[in-house]
Structure 1
Amino acid sequence: MRDTTLNAVAVVIFAVTMASLLGPLVSLSPALVAVFVAVGLGVFSLDQLGLGGRIGNILMDAVAWTSGDHRQRVLHHEAGHFLAAVLLDIPVEDYTLNTWEAWRRGIPGQGGVVFGPSDPTALTRLTPQTIDRYCQVWMAGVAAEQMVYGDAQGGGDDTAALGQFWTLLGRSPAEVPLKQRWATLQAKTLLEKHRDAFDALVTAMGDRTPVADCCALITAHRASVETSA
Structure 2
Amino acid sequence: MEEKVFSNGGVSFLVLDTIGHSISQKYHNRVVQHEAGHFLIAYLLGILPRGYTLTSLEALKKEGSLNVQAGTAFVDFEFLEEVSKGKVSATTLNRFTCIALAGVATEYLIFGYAEGGLADINTLDRLLKSLGFTQKKADSQLRWAVLNTILILRRHEKTRVMLADAMSAGRSVGACIDIIENTIGDADL
The one of 63, 74, 81 aligned to 1:122 = 81
1:64 aligned to 2:45? no
Q: TM-score, normalised by structure 1?
A: 0.71
* Residue 74 (structure 1) aligns with: 31
RMSD after superposition: 2.4
Closer, same or farther in 2 for the Cα pair 1:178/1:56, shift >3 Å?
Answer: farther
The one of 1, 4, 9 aligned to 1:53 = 9
1:150 aligned to 2:112? yes
Shift in Å at residue 218 of structure 1?
A: 0.5
* Residue 31 (structure 1) aligns with: none
Shift in Å at residue 174 of structure 1?
A: 4.8
Are the aligned partners of 2:36 and 2:103 in contact in 1 as well (CA < 8 Å)?
A: yes
CA distance in structure 1 between the aligned counterparts of 2:35 and 2:151, rounded to whole angstroms:
17
- Tell me whether 141-150 or 109-118 shows the greater mean CA deviation: 109-118
List gaps (5 residues or longer) in structure 2: none
Q: TM-score, normalised by structure 2?
A: 0.84
Alignment of 1:29-108 (within 5 A): 48=7, 52-65=8-21, 66-106=23-63
1:112 aligned to 2:71? yes
Shift in Å at residue 221 of structure 1?
A: 1.6
Shift in Å at residue 126 of structure 1?
A: 4.1
Measured against aligned partners, the alpha-carbon deviations of 1:45-99 in whole angstroms (never above 9, x if no partner) come to xx95xxx422111011012212111111111111000000000001211100121
CA distance in structure 1 between the aligned counterparts of 2:135 and 2:48, rounded to whole angstroms:
27
| Matched residues, number | 179
Shift in Å at residue 183 of structure 1?
A: 1.4
Identity %: 28
Measured against aligned partners, the alpha-carbon deviations of 1:134-179 in whole angstroms (never above 9, x if no partner) come to 1001000011111111111111011001111112323234533432
Q: Which has the larger radius of gyration?
A: 1
Closer, same or farther in 2 for the Cα pair 1:169/1:152, shift >3 Å?
Answer: same
Specify the SS of the correspondent of 1:139.
helix
The one-letter code of the counterpart of 2:12 is G
* Residue 137 (structure 1) aligns with: 99
List gaps (5 residues or longer) in structure 1: 6-46
Are the aligned partners of 1:78 and 1:141 in contact in 2 as well (CA < 8 Å)?
A: yes
Structure (1 or 2) with the greater helix fraction: 1
The one-letter code of the counterpart of 1:56 is S
Closer, same or farther in 2 for the Cα pair 1:179/1:118, shift >3 Å?
Answer: same
The one-letter code of the counterpart of 1:160 is N
